[in-house]
A and B are shown apart, each in its own frame.
Chain A
Amino acid sequence: MNKLLRTTVALAALALAMPSLAMPAFADDAKPLAGQSITVLLPSGQSPNIASDFEKETGIKVDLQMLSWDDIRPKLITGLIAGTPPADVTEFDWSWTGQFGAAGWYEDLTPLIDAESIKDMPTASIFTVDGKLLGVPYANDFRILIANKDHLAKAGITKMPTTIDELIADAKLVKEKGIAEYPLGVPLSPSEGTSTLWYLMTFAFGGDLFDKDWKPLFTSPDSGGYKALQFYVDMLKAGLIDPASTGLKDSDVHQMFMDGKVTFDLGVGPGWVGAFEDKTKSKIAGSTTLGLVPTVSGKTVSYGLPEALGIPAASEKKEAALAFVKWMTSKDEQIKLAAEQGLLATRTSAFEELNKQGKILDGDVVIEQAGTVGPLFKQGTPTWYPQFSSAVNNAINQAAKGEISVADAVKSIADETAKAQQQ
């Protein structure tokens, strides 16, 4: 009797257990990681549907954490140095590549992402250190010129400026006609946006930042970097740039553009067009127009500042994390994210598809500018980049305030760069 009872109970238990054992084997062939959960850390402003859409497709639960862009890095670093990353998939900015690559904090994704995908994402090279792909680009960004076409029309300007001289002439015209008090939107606070715009202006003035041996190319008065900084000082004196810009980050300048206070937003990428054209956020929706970055020679130039998804080497759920990275950077998802949150696709195929559908404002201009995009540093982002950037934006800030001369500012950048390179 006892034996019979034991057998019955065992069979009943097995029968009860069977469905749960069998379920993943039968139903989840397409969802082999269903039931797992991962944490994803991204900058604020992501589509609220990301977690639910991914779970629907893969069965993997996502705890999507969002922080302001500036707060992500300190959170990441404290976690990574302690060997306990705050998430299984994290934001990975282009400017962190040198430091994070040297620290070995991130998984090499080269063998995990198919070559076809990498080929479809030209900016992937920016996240590659010593042949290791540390992040898969999900948000494209490069510099372009954005203007308020109503301001231009009121001033009688019929085409976007293509040279620096034309830009200055247009800005003067807008100011003279009282359309905008300070037509040129330029961030001059000690912040990253100030540095990134100066890099662009250095290229626009026909210069470069470093030679192949990392020697500065911006210290002589006839160099692009020197002229770019002199341009800021001259424009401040001419009243074309707001003196209060010394306290403005790039996002503050974008807000001024959305408020209709500046005519030209110089330090911006096409990814902002969505916000500029959103009537709930912008007072100038419908007035945005895009142009190629003006240069001294008239031949446009730009560089990329993409953002990627990386998997910390200490993550314990790498498989599920990889599934998320692949999903979010897939062509379909890139097209969807472009529509939902205005992200600029990192896949060439997605970009072309969106343009074909007419979903990119001034798509031809954007595509033409995209064709000129190169890496900021040909040798890859150096480990001392944050010190260099900090030296740049502080020197610009001081020169803009009149605390130091342009010559002293570029010298201070060069001196601090040399010190950073030695450390």
Chain B
Amino acid sequence: MSLSAVLPARRSREKGIDGTADALLGLLLAAPIVIAMVALVLFPVASTLWDSLHRVNPMQAGTPFIGLQHYQDLLKDPIVNEAWRNTIIYVVICVTLETAGGIGAALLINQAGRWRRFVLAAVILPWALPGVVNAVVWQWIYNPAFGLLNGLLVAAGLDFEKYVWFNDRTVALFAVSLVHVWRMLPLTAVIVLAALQSIPADLYEAARIDGASRPKMFTNITLPLIRGGVAIAMTQSTVAAFNFFDEAWILTGSSRGTRPILVQVYLEAFQNLHFSYGMALSVLVMFASLAVSLVYVLRVQRVTRLD
């Protein structure tokens, strides 16, 4: 082998351009997150899956293998099915309102010019609040006797004197969803705003020269170019709505008419001490959430490629 052939190879190894050194460095850098994911996500998921195939109940001796028994029972459990129905309603209301409202808010903030950062800071506040605090604030707003909402409606001449918002199931589902939307909408707005700001101004300029109206520009330029951001926002909205707990628990407790699926998981595990039954239900929640999210993720991938 000639010297000229050997030297560049050695140099490239020394500089780390060589595949082995790069791979090692890559592994080293990825190791912390891989270890954290295995320890904090994969291991608990695998352990929960395994336990859900057993009977884990501290009131009964042993933890015998029962296969898919819990999953079969869950499908037939009317209370669990009611909680699923409530959760799907929450997901539909929350994702729709958060997406529509988030896009609207992002468009408005985008027009705020030099005040944008201050408006953004104000808008993001509800998202910074913990779910429990958010729910307690709204509990006061919805209070039949001295709540702000009834006060405003009565002042507007409407018959809402001591109106009890949670005594009607449909209204209650919407009222509870609204509290969640109020907290999560800012996140959607921020994600969409970031997408909006990545659109080159030249495109609008060219459209304006071509005589395009504002609605035309929105549907033909803005919307297609923020699709990726909107899909990401919808993914997080969906996952958050599936994991709905705090607001529903504070506002309506374990009320069956408004009980989301995660409250059912909590009640099965920590009230009834049917741990593995609760685990099986949480596994189903995880798969449902993943399945819906996967639709968005695949869509994002396609849209991003098109972009």
Q: Do A394 and B273 form a contact, CB below 8 Å, given A99-B59, A102-B59?
A: no
**Pick from B59, B162, B169: contact of A383, CB under 8 Å:** B59
Q: B272 at the A/B interface (Cβ < 8 Å)?
A: yes
Q: Does A401 contact B (CB under 8 A)?
A: yes
Is the pair B253, A189 in contact by a Cβ cutoff of 8 Å? yes
Q: Does A155 contact B (CB under 8 A)?
A: no
**Chain A contacts with B in 77-121, Cβ cutoff 8 A:** 77-78, 80-81, 99, 102-103, 105
* Of A26-34, A239-247, A314-322, the one touching chain B: A239-247
Q: Which residues of B contact A189 (CB under 8 A)?
A: 253, 255
In the assembled complex, the CB of B149 is this many whole angstroms from the nearest CB of chain A, namely: 14
Q: Is the interface of B mostly helix, strand, loop or mixed?
A: loop
Q: A244-B164, A247-B164, A387-B272 are in contact. Are A397 and B255 (CB under 8 A)?
A: yes
Cross-chain contact B166 with A247 (CB below 8 angstroms): yes
Chain B residues, CB < 8 A from A99: 59, 273
Chain B min CB distance to A277 (Å): 25
Q: Which of B246-268 contact A (CB under 8 A)?
A: 252-257, 267
CA distance A80 to B145 in the complex (A): 42
Task: Answer yes or no: A190 CB below 8 A from chain B CBs.
Answer: yes
Are A386 and B271 touching (Cβ within 8 A)?
yes
Q: Decide if B58 is an interface residue (CB 8 Å cutoff).
A: yes
CA distance A136 to B61 in the complex (A): 26
Q: Are A246 and B253 in contact (CB under 8 A)?
A: no
| Chain A residues numbered 289-308 whose CB sits less than 8 Å from any CB in chain B | none
Bound-complex Cα distance A384 to B271 (A): 10
B168 within 8 A of A: yes
A398 CA to B79 CA in the complex, in Å?
14
A358 contacts partner chain B, Cβ-Cβ < 8 Å: no
Complex alpha-carbon distance, A401 and B172, angstroms: 11
A243 near B167 (CB under 8 angstroms)?
Answer: yes
Q: CB of A403 within 8 A of chain B?
A: yes
Residues A103 and B59 in contact in the complex (CB < 8 Å), given A73-B270, A77-B273, A390-B271: yes
Give the residue of B79, B168, B253, B267 whose beta carbon is less than 8 angstroms from that of A401.
B168
Complexed CA–CA distance, A386 and B270 (Å) = 10
Asked whether, in the complex, the Cβ of B256 is within 8 Å of the Cβ of A244, the reply is: no
Q: Indicate if A357 sits at the interface (CB-CB under 8 A).
A: no
- From A190, A397, A423, contact of B274 by CB (8 A): A423
Interface string of B270-286 (1 = CB under 8 A from A): 11111100000000000
Q: A227 to chain B: closest CB distance in Å?
A: 23
**A142 vs B194: C-alpha distance when bound (angstroms):** 60
**Proximity bits, A386-411, B CB within 8 Å = 1, else 0:** 11001001100110011100000000
Give CA–CA (A150, B164) in the complex, Å: 29
In the complex, chain A residues whose CB is within 8 Å of the CB of B256: 190, 394, 397-398
Query: Size range of the interface on A?
Result: 20 to 34
Contact A390 B270 (CB under 8 A): no
Residue with the greatest number of chain A CB neighbours at <10 A, chosen from B79, B166, B167, B267: B167
B144 adjacent to chain A (CB < 8 Å): yes
Residue numbers in A under 8 Å from B144 (CB-CB): 243-244, 247
Whether B272 contacts A386 by the Cβ 8 Å rule is yes
How close is B255's CB to chain A, nearest CB, in angstroms?
5
Interface flag for A263 (CB, 8 Å) = no
Bound CA–CA A30/B79 (angstroms) = 57
Q: Does A190 lie within 8 Å of B254, measured CB to CB?
A: yes
Cβ of A202 < 8 Å from any Cβ of B? no
Q: Is B255 a contact partner of A190 (Cβ separation < 8 A)?
A: yes
User: Which chain B residues numbered 226 to 252 have a C-beta less than 8 Å away from chain A?
Assistant: 252
* Contact partners of B162 in chain A: CB under 8 A: 243-244
A74 close to chain B: CB less than 8 A = yes
Q: Which of A53-89 contact B (CB under 8 A)?
A: 73-74, 77-78, 80-81
Q: Determine the chain B residues whose CB is within 8 A of the CB of A394 once the complex forms.
A: 254-256
Taking CB atoms and an 8 Å cut-off, the chain B residues in 185-207 that contact chain A are none
Answer whether residue A191 sits at the interface, using C-beta atoms and an 8 A cutoff: yes
Residue pair B275, A81 in contact (C-beta under 8 Å): yes
Cβ-neighbour of B166 out of A73, A246, A390 (below 8 A): A246
In the complex, which residues of chain A have a beta carbon less than 8 angstroms from the beta carbon of B272? 384, 386-387, 420, 423
With a cutoff of 8 Å between Cβ atoms, the chain A residues found around residue B274 in the complex are: 423
* Interface pair A243/B164, CB less than 8 Å apart: yes
Closest chain B residue, CB of each to CB of A77: B270
Which residues of chain A are within 8 angstroms of B253 by Cβ–Cβ distance? 189-191
**Chain B: CB-nearest residue to A78:** B270
Looking at the assembled complex, report how far the CB atom of B216 sits from the nearest CB atom of chain A, in whole angstroms: 48
CA of A244 to CA of B150 in the docked complex: distance in angstroms? 13
- Chain B residue contacts of A78, Cβ below 8 A: 270
**Contact residues in B for A243 (Cβ distance below 8 Å):** 144, 162, 164, 167
Cross-chain contact A103 with B273 (CB below 8 angstroms): yes
Q: Which of B58, B59, B267, B273 contacts A390 (CB 8 A)?
A: B267
Bound together, the chains give a CA A189 to CA B255 distance in angstroms of: 8
- Ordered by A's residue number, 23 sampled pairs between the chains whose C-beta atoms are within 8 Å are A73-B270, A80-B58, A81-B58, A99-B59, A102-B59, A103-B58, A103-B59, A189-B255, A190-B252, A190-B254, A244-B145, A244-B162, A244-B164, A246-B164, A246-B166, A246-B167, A247-B252, A383-B59, A386-B271, A386-B272, A394-B255, A394-B256, A423-B272
Starting from the known contacts A99-B273, A244-B144, 18 additional A-B residue pairs (CB-CB under 8 Å) come to A73-B270, A74-B270, A80-B58, A99-B59, A102-B59, A189-B253, A190-B254, A191-B253, A243-B162, A244-B162, A244-B164, A383-B59, A390-B271, A397-B255, A397-B256, A398-B256, A401-B169, A423-B274
